[in-house]
Amino acid sequence: MSDKKSTEGIYTDFTNKMTYGEYLELDRLLTSQNRLSNHHDEMLFIIIHQVSELWMKLILHELRAAIRSIQTDKLATAFKMLARVSKIQSQIIQAWDVLSTLTPSEYMEFRAKLGQASGFQSYQYRMIEFALGYKTKHILAIYKKDPVLHQRLAEAFQSPSIYDAAILALNKHGFHIDQQLIERDYSVPYETNPTVEAAWLEVYKNVDQYWDLYQLAEKLVDIEDWLQQWRFRHMKTVERIIGHKPGTGGSAGVSYLKKVLDHRFFPELWDIRTKL
């Protein structure tokens, strides 16, 4: 096929038509990488974090929709969304491999320019933690500078997590769940409950009977597994670049990141594996 024939029909006149760049607002997107230093590698640092924030935006979009689907007993709809979250998580994990090409010497050339700005302050990451059930009230103080954002975070903090929605689904499907969990304050961190463990154990012992609940449980385990892998790669990348220095935002750095690796979002789903 000639070059002329292969390009026939391609639009070239966009005088009154929307272009690809306009649809994606690329002018705004690609002019948002503003280095505060003249160091070459600051561009890498900015782009990695911006891309991760875009992926987190999509994770939140999917998680919120999945929670609504579970609450309305549309479990099959939620499965697609949760599977997509897991795929997104794999992309974010791989981003650490790119950032780890930044050496300690290179990072020190522009680290001071960050001031107290830190990934620790990522409000989207906090919203993901809230959506998964990890509620830490003291974190909200970081966002008081922006009243609108603070209100959004406060609302997310008070809202049911995806695990709360899953527990209510167990109750709707006839499992006995403590009434205090059905009516609980969602801002209070979830603690392991024997009725929830018994329900999940029954689901795993009777997979054919409770196939949808079993699939929901496995999708949640996938997400927690990937998130812990993300946390581990985060910790190792930070250790590789700054060692055990404090974070720019005032956190303890690597020691803090190691500590959160011990946290579990969906404890009963892990405990039952020993008891099956």
Q: Which amino acid is at 55?
A: W
Sign of the Cα torsion 129, 130, 135, 136 reads positive
Q: Is 234 annotated as a binding residue?
A: yes
Q: Is 48 annotated as a binding residue?
A: yes
Q: Which amino acid is at 195?
A: T
Interval 171-190: pLDDT, tens: 999 999 999 999 999 999 99
202/133 Cα distance (integer angstroms):
23
**SS3 label, residue 210:** coil
- Which residue ranges form the domains of the chain, and what is each CATH number? 39-110+119-274 (1.20.58.480)
Q: Is 111 annotated as a binding residue?
A: yes
Q: Is 120 annotated as a binding residue?
A: no
Q: Is 162 annotated as a binding residue?
A: no
Contact 249, 260 (CB under 8 A): no
In the predicted structure, residue 193 carries a pLDDT above the cut 80: yes
71: its two tokens:
């609450």
Is the pTM of the predicted complex or chain greater than 0.75? yes
Mean pLDDT value across residues 108-114: 94
Strands (DSSP E) contained in 179-220 are none
How high is the pLDDT of residue 80?
A: 97
Mean pLDDT value across residues 162-173: 98
Q: Is 70 annotated as a binding residue?
A: no
For 61-73, give one letter per residue: b (16+ CB within 10 A) or e: ebbbbbbebbbee
Q: Is 46 annotated as a binding residue?
A: yes
